[in-house]
Amino acid sequence: MKTRWYKDSVFYQIYPRSFCDSNGDGIGDIKGIISKLDYLKSLGITAVWLSPCYKSPNDDNGYDISDYRDIMDEFGTLDDWKEMIEGMHKRGIKLVMDLVVNHTSDEHEWFKQSRSSIDNPYRDYYFWRKGSGKDGKKPPNNWTSRFGGSAWAYDEQTGEYYLHLFSKKQPDLNWDNPKVRQEVVDICNYWFELGVDGFRCDVIIYISKQEGLPNAKWNPFTCGDEYFVIGPHYHEYIHEINQKSWSKYDIMTVGEGQGITVADAESMVAEPREELDAIFTFEHQEADARMSVVPRKFKLSRFKKIMTSWQNIPNTCWNSLFLENHDYSRSIPRYIKPEFRKEGAKMLAVTMNFMKGTPYIFQGQEIGMTNIEHFKPKDYVDIVSKNVYKIAKKIFPLVPVVKWALQKRARDHARTPMQWSAEENAGFTTGTPWMYVNPNYKEINVAEAEADPDSVLNFYRKINKFRVGNKIIKDGTYNEFYAKSDKVFVYARELHGVSYLVAANWTHKVVEFDLPEQFKGKTSKLVMSNYFDSKEEAGDCNLMPYEAVVWEIK
């Protein structure tokens, strides 16, 4: 029976390579995760989203999978994994894994077989096409890879091109082949039988491609999107996987929905459709960017409009609430001036965690980890950052612009090692870390936060405890105030005559707050604040820099 347990959960995303290293090789691993399970429990976490830990040659840090049924050697063994999930379940923590099935690694046995000859039974597991042009030496169409360049790679062994919407070492699976879809069902059921509680489905909206793979309207960043984002058979294929696998277990699925808008919500996650349970959308993440790449000045009113539109989706749908993950730079300094790190991190926590939906905390977010102030080109390890910089060097005037953009938006910022203590390498490893450690680890780390009653970490503990099982937050209506303001984010959640009024100052200056008329003269009390001296009863007041308050009003 589906209990929809995720609607009462607080998730924590672990990026295993950067979380905790147990053996001194400089790479985070599963035993490192096991050593921190009590920490997760103390934080109030009830579910973990674990980024890929399967066997992989690591062209894209584990999102290029060579064996879906085993664990990456650098991370440990399947027995280690079993010990980890047992430890999570003993602590009341569920485990959601990454399901990466739009593509495999080119080192997966399926692809090795597929590229061996045009007559191989696995040939149709992927997209193979002859070249175009008079000499047949041009790619079959003009689609671009999300990582830059053509989405096609030429393979000399059979003289044909294969499709890869990401790295050339990540060939796309052909979901039109029913054998591929059955493979996905079998993979899901394999992990469910081992106790997994669900999947975060990576780039799942790309799985169905337009028949004939036609040329697209040219755009260096999105060329081809119209032919594979929620493609012609997407809903049919997801429903099939749901019926054959997902619906048979008390699990949850959340899809990655780059490009999805609120207009798509009901078709993607409405419960009667029996497809995905929830979806990550990125409209709010792109409120401070053009084309997902070039930063622009953040505007709160633009951000609020997006967030509010998602809060008002039908009740048959469910939201995912997040500001950070492995694909985006840190919230600080995207939204917050670094000198107000603690106040700002807490304000963001209040703003997001009183909304309707399932909240996701990305590792380090709970202690207010920040971007690295001065990344040097040699320090970037992410395939996207390296590819973008490589392209820029060919067009020299672009280099300063790209350096500036990467400093603000590079995925590397989120992937630096977790800062556990002020010890060498932030307590992440006793060896040489696989990636640059943020130099501010001596001031920003878990040990420091544990000792500080007013830390970001202890505030997250407070808010997580308050939120879990709270029916107003889970089921209450949502109503926004002062929508056009670029200074304050104000909204109310109401259920059975009781409201939580959330007022958050998103600036580094003191801001005047006027209590909405409908709440004046009513009984109220302060239930959450990131300042010690916030107003105890709801009313007009000055909100301090990045102050956030929540009043309960009857």
8 Å CB contact between 125 and 179: yes
8 Å CB contact between 30 and 16: yes
Q: How much is the average pLDDT of 315-343? A: 94
- How many C-beta atoms surround the C-beta of residue 505 within 10 A? 25
Helices (runs of H) and strands (runs of E) counted in the chain = 17, 22
> Taking the CA atoms of the chain, what radius of gyration do you get in angstroms?
24
| pLDDT of amino acid 54 | 98
Residues 6+ apart with CB under 8 A from 320: 254, 278, 279, 280, 281, 357, 358, 360
Is it the case that residue 403 has pLDDT exceeding 80?
no
| pLDDT of amino acid 127 | 98
Q: Rounded to whole angstroms, what are the CA distances from 33 to 117, 253, 306, 363, 396?
A: 42, 22, 35, 12, 43
8 Å CB contact between 172 and 164: yes
8 Å CB contact between 104 and 171: yes
- At 143-159, the pLDDT tens digits run 999 988 999 999 999 99
Q: What is the distance between the alpha carbons of residues 337 and 398, in angstroms, rounded to a whole number?
A: 27
Name the more confident of 413 and 408. Answer: 413
Sign of CA dihedral 341, 546, 327, 449: positive
Helix (H) or strand (E) holding 287: none
Comparing 329-333, 341-345, 483-487, the range with the smallest average pLDDT is 329-333
- At 525-543, the pLDDT tens digits run 999 999 999 999 999 999 9
Is it the case that residue 8 has pLDDT exceeding 50?
yes
Is it the case that residue 255 has pLDDT exceeding 90?
yes
What percent of the chain has a predicted confidence (pLDDT) above 90?
A: 85
304: confidence class by pLDDT, cuts 50, 70, 90? very high
Is 256 considered catalytic here?
yes
Is it the case that residue 290 has pLDDT exceeding 80?
no
Is it the case that residue 288 has pLDDT exceeding 80?
no
Q: Which of 297-301, 402-406, 516-520 has the highest mean pLDDT?
A: 516-520
- How many C-beta atoms surround the C-beta of residue 317 within 10 A? 21
Q: What is the distance between the alpha carbons of residues 256 and 276, in angstroms, rounded to a whole number?
A: 10
451: confidence class by pLDDT, cuts 50, 70, 90? very high
Residues 6+ apart with CB under 8 A from 92: 41, 46
DSSP 8-state assignment for residue 276: -
5-103+178-203+230-373+418-465: CATH architecture: Alpha-Beta Barrel (3.20)
| pLDDT of amino acid 291 | 46
Q: How much is the average pLDDT of 275-303? A: 81
294: confidence class by pLDDT, cuts 50, 70, 90? low
User: Own/partner pairs for 298-306, CB < 8 Å, 24+ apart?
Assistant: 298/334, 298/335, 299/486, 300/485, 300/486, 300/487, 300/489, 300/506, 301/483, 301/484, 301/485, 301/486, 304/480, 304/483, 304/489, 305/483, 306/262
- How many C-beta atoms surround the C-beta of residue 403 within 10 A? 14
DSSP E strands in 7-86: the ranges are 11-14, 47-50, 54-55, 67-71
Is it the case that residue 551 has pLDDT exceeding 50?
yes
Q: How much is the average pLDDT of 66-79? A: 98
Q: What is the distance between the alpha carbons of residues 328 and 325, in angstroms, rounded to a whole number?
A: 6
Sign of CA dihedral 185, 186, 188, 192: positive
Is 324 considered catalytic here?
no
- Residue of 64, 160, 256, 382 with catalytic role: 256
Domain spanning 109-163: which superfamily? Answer: Oligo-1,6-glucosidase; Domain 2 (3.90.400.10)
Is it the case that residue 293 has pLDDT exceeding 70?
no
Is it the case that residue 410 has pLDDT exceeding 80?
no
328: confidence class by pLDDT, cuts 50, 70, 90? confident
Q: How much is the average pLDDT of 292-315? A: 88
Amino acid identity, residue 97?
M
Is it the case that residue 292 has pLDDT exceeding 60?
no
The pairing of beta strand 498-505 with beta strand 548-553:
antiparallel
Whole-model pTM over 0.85: yes
Q: How much is the average pLDDT of 339-361? A: 98
Average pLDDT, the chain: 94
389: confidence class by pLDDT, cuts 50, 70, 90? low
Helix, strand, or coil (residue 189): helix
What class has domain 476-553? mainly beta
- Residue of 202, 283, 286, 366 with catalytic role: 202
- At 373-385, the pLDDT tens digits run 887 777 878 777 7
* Domain spans in the chain, listed from the N-terminal domain onward: 5-103+178-203+230-373+418-465, 109-163, 376-409, 476-553
